[in-house]
Amino acid sequence: MSVPVIISDEQVKKIITWPIVNEAVEEAFKAICCSADFAWLRKHNKESSADQPARTRTNINNINNHGLLFTMPGFVSNYTLNSKKYSTLGCKMVTMFKENEKRNPPLPSILANIALFNSETGQLECIIDGTEITAWRTAAASVIATKYLYFKRKNYIKEPIVAIIGCGVQGKSHSLGLCHTFPIKSIQLWNRTTEKAFSLLNCLESEKENFINKNINITVFSSIDDCVRNADIIVTSTYVDEPIIHFNMLKKDVHINAVGCGPTSHHVELSQKIYDKSILYIDHWAGASVELKDLKCNIVCEVGEAIIDQTKIPEEGISIFQSLGMAVEDVTTAQALYEAFKKQCE
């Protein structure tokens, strides 16, 4: 039996690009929605499909430490990467040990790895570090949602203003993903601690030469209201226990990627009035039926359905992509990076 390929975090960082991840995530969106009983969608998606069981949680109680292991399996069949067809079987495994940061030397409290198996034999082919992949694929999901739910509108702003609320890992990856993919006019940053917002500003300034719009304006705001008021696209990536964005702060035709969460739900960042006045898109129904069961909102469809059937795209008004994350995004992205790694080694 052959030894599986090991791809480290450092190697992932050398080969990962936004075009690679965006394509993989868009394919995951289409595949997961076509797993449902929608014959029209399956026909127009050339029959790619996916299976994504609910994630499992294992509690680890050691004498001096407590940890968690989450496993997120997924199978995506007959999808396309770089004009070639693939079927991918994989599983992301995430561990969470809060005491790791106190170790000497310290370790990240959250670690992720993705295992890829041969979909014909079940043989383990590759183990790839999943920490960077998780950050990128989450942002790529919002990028793809924005591509269709905002930039496919008839009257979209060709060089929109983006507001990033929360400048941590996801705020950074969303900023980079959007600026590498679209001609963003300006990006406006807010964070609870201003230092982190300025740190992201410096990061973005250093990357400007690689953006679609190399003359992008980057500004830090001290007020959420001021940051979002003229924004065409908003990303919320915070951990809060009550709404921080309200309806009277928003333009009438804004698109929101809601990525953050709170102690009890995935939909606490936006006020109920925003949801009342908006149309909502999700990544997958199975996750939404559990994690968004208490949310009162007009859910239109999965993003994948809007990609395939573009009559589902809004013409105007406030649209929200409520991001929950999917294992199939992890496995298609891991497959794309595995293919790029093999090509690099030729």
Q: How far apart are CA 244 and CA 240, in angstroms?
A: 8
- pLDDT of 180 strictly over 60: yes
- pLDDT of 43 strictly over 90: no
- The CATH number assigned to the domain holding 39 equals 3.30.1780.10
107 and 152 belong to one structural domain:
no
- pLDDT of 33 strictly over 90: no
Q: Where does the pLDDT of residue 345 fall: very low under 50, low under 70, confident under 90, or very high at 90 and above?
A: confident
223 and 242 belong to one structural domain:
yes
130 and 227 belong to one structural domain:
no
301 and 339 belong to one structural domain:
no
The predicted pLDDT at position 262 comes to: 83
User: Which string of b and e fits 295-306 if b means at least 16 CB within 10 Å?
Assistant: bebeebbbbbbb
Amino acid in position 122: G
pTM of the model: 0.94
171 and 283 belong to one structural domain:
yes
111 and 255 belong to one structural domain:
no
Phi, psi of 322 (to 5 degrees): -95, 105
148 and 128 belong to one structural domain:
no
Q: Are 225 and 245 in contact (CB under 8 A)?
A: no
Residue labelled with tokens 């509690």: 59
239 and 221 belong to one structural domain:
yes
Alpha helices per DSSP H over the chain: 9-15, 18-33, 39-44, 131-149, 169-181, 194-207, 224-228, 272-276, 285-291, 303-308, 327-345
320 and 190 belong to one structural domain:
yes
The average confidence (pLDDT) of the chain is 93
Q: Where does the pLDDT of residue 220 fall: very low under 50, low under 70, confident under 90, or very high at 90 and above?
A: very high
Find all residues with CB under 8 Å of 73, minimum gap 6, and list them.
52, 53, 90, 91, 92, 327
333 and 322 belong to one structural domain:
no
Q: Where does the pLDDT of residue 72 fall: very low under 50, low under 70, confident under 90, or very high at 90 and above?
A: very high
Phi-psi sector, 325: left (phi>0), alpha (psi -120 to 50), beta: left
Q: Of 13 and 109, which is predicted with more confidence?
A: 13
149 and 264 belong to one structural domain:
yes
Q: Regarding beta strands 84-96 and 110-117, do their DSSP bridges make them parallel or antiparallel, or are they unpaired?
A: antiparallel
- The CATH number assigned to the domain holding 280 equals 3.40.50.720
- Percent above pLDDT 90 for the chain: 79
Q: Where does the pLDDT of residue 1 fall: very low under 50, low under 70, confident under 90, or very high at 90 and above?
A: low
- pLDDT of 63 strictly over 90: no
Opening angle at CA 230, ends 226 and 235, nearest 5:
80
Which structural domain range is residue 120 located in? 5-134+328-345
Please tell me the total count of domains within the chain: 2
85 and 155 belong to one structural domain:
no
Q: Find the mean pLDDT for residues 44-50.
A: 73
